[in-house]
Structure 1
Amino acid sequence: MASLGGNVFRRFMIVRRPRLMSRCNGYRRCFSTNFLTQEDGHCDEIPSNIEHVLQEYYEKQQTSSSIQMLMKTGRGEMLGKTYKSEAFMGRLGHQLATNRILIQFASFLSQEIPIRLAHRIRDLDQVPILRDMHAVQQVKAIYIRSFLEMIDFPPILNSNDEQKFAHMLGDLYTKHSGVLVQMAKGAYELREGIRSGDINVSKDVDDDFSLESLIDCHRCLDRFYMSRIGIRVLAGQYLAMRQEPQNNYIGMICQKTSPSAVVREAAANVTKLCTERYGRAPEVQLIGRLDLTFPYIPTYLHYIVLELLKNALRATCEKFELSSSLPPVVVVIADGTDNEDVVIKITDEGGGIPRSQIEKIWSYLYTTAGSSLQKAVFSGKDHSDMSPMAGLGYGLPISRSYARYFGGDIDLMSMDGHGTDVFVYLKRLGDTKEPIPV
């Protein structure tokens, strides 16, 4: 796995796509006839007419990034001249620098994203049993379409090319907005198949679907979601850099992200959800380093905190259903001068989790919600503040994937019968390379 260092990134300023274009165009026309016209996006197998071009991209090395590297790219530090060295020329120089940055970033993405898509297409095609779920086949179809559209795009040599690429990538970014929920639906279909007896889980590793196969399904989902985070961070950062700049922002990275502000916003969202569901909600108390700021992507931190607070408030309401008052949920933000992490602790008195269930809560194949509730939420999009209090079973594992993607982690300690402490570790320096799954 390559690292997104200066030399690696700079080479995309003069990149020329290998002469696969006429061949790929031919594949795409043939592929459209056989596959893209299918209304439900159903795809049992990778069409043979794109198999070897997919394999060619699958065998290429992926390139990792980090928050610091994305900020340096946004400032033009990966160019031969820095952003500031051209910006002194005034508005024209500022625009020239911005255009060069965007052309460089777009050239990198036009090469990198197809490689990452190829890895996930291959993974979804090979994972046992899960690959047969209709929702998973639909996701694979979306990824194949996107892969073909990306490799069909010509080399990005000037600002006009870059603008066309941005339009195409923006469309793909929107089309993929429901993929997280769609994959969760695939996990639901697998769970329902096991529950109904249509899929039998066996301890015999030679059987079609053994316990080892179930573990393989979970690992595939872990790789899929981690890769998806990386693709959307890179694409989202590039698209955000094309918008009007905001104070303290480079693209979608806020150089002064305030954990306390993010917690307050998430708490307000969850309190509203909880009140609608249960008629009341426990108070969310916030203490600690409320003045702390550090470079991060607020959108993703908001998602993490939102999911953890939903669990805490729901558990509290359900445990104290017959009580006239609710104990508060306490959020502590901790950081010291020499700490490598910013740490957020969320404490509730919602009854805790039995020790035997701790490992299950990190599984994409586990949920406490019933089938009717799960079905009701499959029309949602990523990062919705109005998502239900429970249902799809991916809130905790996805939150941990987000934290780990940026070099942090999530840990949990529970006292069965009393409550739970969840610790969110956020890498303060933002220099950790993204953990790209192969």
Structure 2
Amino acid sequence: MVSIDAERLEAFMQAELSFLAQRPHEPLTLQRIVEASTPAKVAKLVHEELPELFAARVKHIEAVPGWADQPELVSIRDIFVQSFKDLRLSEPDLANAQSAASLSDFTEVIYSIRRRHRPVTVLLGEAMRKMRRGDADAESTFQAWADVFLSSRISTEMLTSHYTKIIEAAGVNPTQVGVVDTKCNPGQICQEAAEQVEKSFSEEAGAGDGIRITVQANNCINSQSEIEFSYIPRYLFYIVQELLRNSARATLEAKQAAAAAGTPGPGPIAVTVCADQTQVVIRISDHANGLFGNDEKIWSYQFSTSAQPLKAYMDCASPLSGWGMGVPLGRLYAEYLGGSMELMNMPGTGVDAYLFLKRIALDSGAGERAGQQAGQQAA
């Protein structure tokens, strides 16, 4: 074993980080994620991809003028540097990676990275708020910078989530391939998101002032059967949840204003799910009088419907929540997976949000291979 002193190791790591950050990198597709359906394959993909992604994001932060004077950006950079070092100092035994147990050391590194990265989104949101206060003209520039940064983060979050799901798989769900469910039911997910938002806003508003959300899940117009498609259920839940939260808060405010004026309040929020053979579409409609002023503000990472403090989000399970990050980051998630999100504002009436999700063609054998691997791990 060769011994290297700490100073030389640090210099080597910094040189390697700079080198990997400059290498051309193709976006990580969902197809590549699903193809990594065994512990050995997903460990190889993680070991190859994550260091380059982290290195690129370190340099992306360092490209921001005055980044060293922003404590939040410094913290984010330090997080990525440490995770980069951990990965480069950890080598999965791919030759013998026939089971999750043989990758236990590497798996612990991934778990540690996921814990370390939990505050990144909200730290970024706080940094952006400070930059806005310092220079209003910087918002559009930082908006574009954040789009690139957060798109890269989706890659790493999806990859590490997929790794842990493959490693933890024990034949619980035969339709699950890591983070992807080949039988994802969007109607059911919308119903679960609606129930959670109703509960949270009822607790916030008090008795008698709750929010009602209706969900209508139509059959696929081609198969005339219940809608199912290959997707990442957790991401879909968070995207729908964030859209519902915005509609619910606007509806609650409109309801309280109507009660004070002695006029009828807005009706329930309506969610409609439909699909054909190429896409799934979700519409969320409210009657909360719409957005006033600049409609585009809803897509800004600076815009928030909530005034909760930063610390309220530090341990939140959702990767989208925090300081107004939800809706624009939700759109990034949809676009990253080949879909889109659009808002139609009707001033004085309400807002219709449309989520267009492409059906993803997956290798038909991926689920079978994952199931076989899960059986081997459980044996």
**TM-score, structure 2 length as denominator?**
0.83
Query: How far apart in 1 are the matches of 2:337 and 2:51?
Result: 22
Cα shift readout 1:354-376 (whole Å, capped 9, x = no counterpart): 2x421121111233544xx3345
What is the CA-CA distance between 1:108 and the residue it aligns to?
A: 2.2
Q: What residue identity is the alignment partner of 2:120?
A: V
Cα shift readout 1:222-245 (whole Å, capped 9, x = no counterpart): 111111111111111121011213
Structure-2 residue corresponding to 1:347:
285
Q: What residue identity is the alignment partner of 1:282?
A: I
Structure-1 residue corresponding to 2:359:
428
| 1:399–1:172 CA distance, 2 compared to 1 (3 A) | same
Query: How far apart in 2 are the matches of 1:400 and 1:27?
Result: 43
Percent of paired sites with the same residue? 27
Runs of 4+ deviating beyond 4 Å: 25-31
Q: 1:287 aligns with which of 183, 196, 216?
A: 216
Cα shift readout 1:287-308 (whole Å, capped 9, x = no counterpart): 2425201001100000000000
Query: How far apart in 2 are the matches of 1:132 and 1:260?
Result: 46
Q: What residue identity is the alignment partner of 1:398?
A: L
What is the CA-CA distance between 1:183 and the residue it aligns to?
A: 1.6
Q: What is the total number of aligned residue pairs between the two structures?
A: 343
Query: How far apart in 2 are the matches of 1:380 and 1:121?
Result: 23
Matched, 1:66 2:29: yes
Q: 2:196 aligns with which of 257, 266, 269?
A: 269
Between 300-309 and 119-128, report the one with greater CA deviation: 119-128
What is the CA-CA distance between 1:66 and the residue it aligns to?
A: 2.8
| 1:26–1:352 CA distance, 2 compared to 1 (3 A) | farther
Q: 1:408 aligns with which of 329, 339, 349?
A: 339
Query: How far apart in 1 are the matches of 2:66 and 2:204?
Result: 35
Q: What residue identity is the alignment partner of 1:174?
A: R
Structure-1 residue corresponding to 2:233:
298
Structure-2 residue corresponding to 1:417:
348
Query: How far apart in 1 are the matches of 2:273 and 2:109?
Result: 40
Query: How far apart in 1 are the matches of 2:68 and 2:151?
Result: 18
| 1:365–1:49 CA distance, 2 compared to 1 (3 A) | farther
Structure-1 residue corresponding to 2:249:
314
* Partner secondary structure for residue 64 of structure 1: coil
Query: How far apart in 2 are the matches of 1:107 and 1:295?
Result: 24
Q: 1:329 aligns with which of 242, 265, 269?
A: 269
Query: How far apart in 1 are the matches of 2:216 and 2:248?
Result: 17
2:287 and 2:351 in contact (8 A); partners too: yes
Q: What residue identity is the alignment partner of 2:229?
A: F
2:76 and 2:120 in contact (8 A); partners too: yes
Query: Counterparts of 1:48-87 in structure 2 under 5 Å?
Result: 50-74=13-37
What is the CA-CA distance between 1:161 and the residue it aligns to?
A: 5.9
Structure-2 residue corresponding to 1:392:
323
1:282 and 1:326 in contact (8 A); partners too: no
What is the CA-CA distance between 1:177 and the residue it aligns to?
A: 1.9
1:282 and 1:327 in contact (8 A); partners too: no
Query: Counterparts of 1:28-39 in structure 2 under 5 Å?
Result: 31=10
| 1:148–1:69 CA distance, 2 compared to 1 (3 A) | closer
| 1:216–1:51 CA distance, 2 compared to 1 (3 A) | farther
1:127 and 1:216 in contact (8 A); partners too: no
Structure-2 residue corresponding to 1:219:
144
Cα shift readout 1:122-150 (whole Å, capped 9, x = no counterpart): 00111134553211211110100001111
Query: How far apart in 2 are the matches of 1:28 and 1:348?
Result: 59
Q: What residue identity is the alignment partner of 2:213?
A: V
Q: What residue identity is the alignment partner of 2:75?
A: Q
Query: How far apart in 1 are the matches of 2:287 and 2:15?
Result: 55
2:184 and 2:228 in contact (8 A); partners too: yes
Matched, 1:147 2:62: no
1:260 and 1:286 in contact (8 A); partners too: yes
What is the CA-CA distance between 1:420 and the residue it aligns to?
A: 0.2
Q: What residue identity is the alignment partner of 1:286?
A: V
Structure-2 residue corresponding to 1:105:
42
* Partner secondary structure for residue 50 of structure 2: helix
Query: How far apart in 1 are the matches of 2:350 and 2:358?
Result: 26
| 1:420–1:430 CA distance, 2 compared to 1 (3 A) | farther
| 1:145–1:227 CA distance, 2 compared to 1 (3 A) | same
* Partner secondary structure for residue 320 of structure 1: helix
2:238 and 2:330 in contact (8 A); partners too: yes
What is the CA-CA distance between 1:167 and the residue it aligns to?
A: 1.7
Structure-2 residue corresponding to 1:238:
163
Structure 2 unaligned spans of 5+: 220-225, 363-379
Q: What residue identity is the alignment partner of 2:183?
A: K
Q: What residue identity is the alignment partner of 2:195?
A: A
Q: What residue identity is the alignment partner of 1:228?
A: R
1:352 and 1:418 in contact (8 A); partners too: yes
What is the CA-CA distance between 1:311 and the residue it aligns to?
A: 0.7
1:288 and 1:334 in contact (8 A); partners too: yes
Structure-1 residue corresponding to 2:370:
none
What is the CA-CA distance between 1:61 and the residue it aligns to?
A: 2.8
Q: What residue identity is the alignment partner of 1:225?
A: L
| 1:263–1:131 CA distance, 2 compared to 1 (3 A) | farther
Query: How far apart in 2 are the matches of 1:384 and 1:229?
Result: 9
Q: What residue identity is the alignment partner of 1:320?
A: K
Query: How far apart in 2 are the matches of 1:368 and 1:299?
Result: 22
